[in-house]
Structure 1
Amino acid sequence: MKTMKDIIFDIGGVLLNWNPDIFLNKYFQGDAERLKKMVFLSDEWKMLDLGNANVNEVRTLIRQHHPNDTQAINFIFDHFEEEMLQPIDESIEAVKALKKAGYPLYILSNIHQDLYHKRAHDHPDIFSLFEGAILSGEEHCLKPDPAIYHILFQRFNLDPHNCLFIDDSPANIEAAKKLGMDGIVRKQDQNLITELKTRGIQL
């Protein structure tokens, strides 16, 4: 069993909730799938993740492309952060246990830097535990592109063979493993601390 030294976390779906289906079905039952494609799965949202546009610019672009849905689009952009981007208690418990045990912690996430810094400002008790973060919006590169993983390794002088990456996307974990990292695909019913211990993490 490999001995892991550095632990890397994704944000959405790992540290913070990210479930557009639940959010949209709560307010737009029957139209949630269409709105998810219109907003969260759109090319405009990809521009946001890549840092090529900010949240307000993306809101404007989507409204321009879908003028009949302006009210719904405005509601989504007004409320998605407070509705979705909230801490996952079980994951935060694992982060605190890892920090207490002395493991260096990092973030690698597809997220715009403005959203990241808002969340970090609102939850300093969580984000202050990390040594550093690689954000797609700052690097103009998205997981699972190997380039953003290499930025992580080089920026923080990490050996991928000593890294464990936790992400909710199987594709992102597969990309990490191809580069030598170990990985955990986070699932909602998973006990992350138990899973970490099975990987040789001493907690």
Structure 2
Amino acid sequence: MKAVVFDIGGVLVDWQPHLAWVEELGSEEAAHAFIERTGFRDRNARGDNGERFADMAQELDDAEDQRLFAAYVGLYSRTVETAIHGTWAVLDRLKAQGTPVHAITNWSAETWPEGLKAQPRLGEVFETLVVSGQEGIMKPDPRIFHLLCKRAGLAPADCIFIDDAPYNVEGARAVGMDGIHFTTPQALEAALVERGLL
């Protein structure tokens, strides 16, 4: 039987990092400006690979920016409050029919527990879950796909991997998994029907 391996952010949960700072900075525009001037997205990727936000905050020149950046972990649950309900409906159908469901997520080890406060089902629904920040390996590194397979007792050819980032889908295909580039829940459902999974 084929197993389905989900990405989480952008597939099951809508991640909007600026929401961490909107309340304190007073507007979405100010929060987006903070993200830009602090190089947040590159630093966040380093967090997904195992680095600590407090350490990265010290690299910033402005003391107030340092404080705000270091506060991100404690504010994180605000960024993932919205579930992508159509994808959850697909996941629930897969589980109901007995299809094994796993996940690989690029996500910081520090922010993962905070994310679970907003989306507790993420900690319960997967048979095998690999969080990049806990492993120090990120998608699309081949090692993270092989790690999932080892822990789940699967061969790559047994897996259908779903991700909203095309380069991660290509990474999965490179190790022998089938890959689906996620755009909408409806398109995902159609792709799984086409493969005989739904």
So what's the TM-score if we normalise by structure 2? 0.81
Contact 1:23 1:84 in 2 (8 A): no
Mark the runs of 5 or more structure 2 residues left unpaired by the alignment.
Answer: none
CA 1:71–1:118 in 2, change beyond 3 Å: closer, same or farther? closer
1:12 has 2:19 as partner: no
2: CA distance between counterparts of 1:23 and 1:184? 30
SS in 1 for 2:191: helix
CA 1:83–1:116 in 2, change beyond 3 Å: closer, same or farther? closer
2: CA distance between counterparts of 1:168 and 1:105? 17
1: CA distance between counterparts of 2:114 and 2:38? 24
CA 1:102–1:46 in 2, change beyond 3 Å: closer, same or farther? same
Alpha-carbon RMSD:
3.0
2: CA distance between counterparts of 1:121 and 1:24? 18
1:152 to 144, 148, 151: 148
Mark the runs of 5 or more structure 1 residues left unpaired by the alignment.
Answer: none
Contact 1:17 1:86 in 2 (8 A): yes
Cα deviation, residue 102, structure 1: 0.5
1: CA distance between counterparts of 2:41 and 2:197? 35
Aligned residues: 195
- Could you say which residue in structure 2 is the equivalent of 1:176? 172
- Could you say which residue in structure 2 is the equivalent of 1:120? 116
So what's the TM-score if we normalise by structure 1? 0.79
The CA deviation string for residues 84-115 of structure 1, in whole angstroms up to 9 with x for no partner, is 35321111111111110111111101112342
1:197 has 2:193 as partner: yes
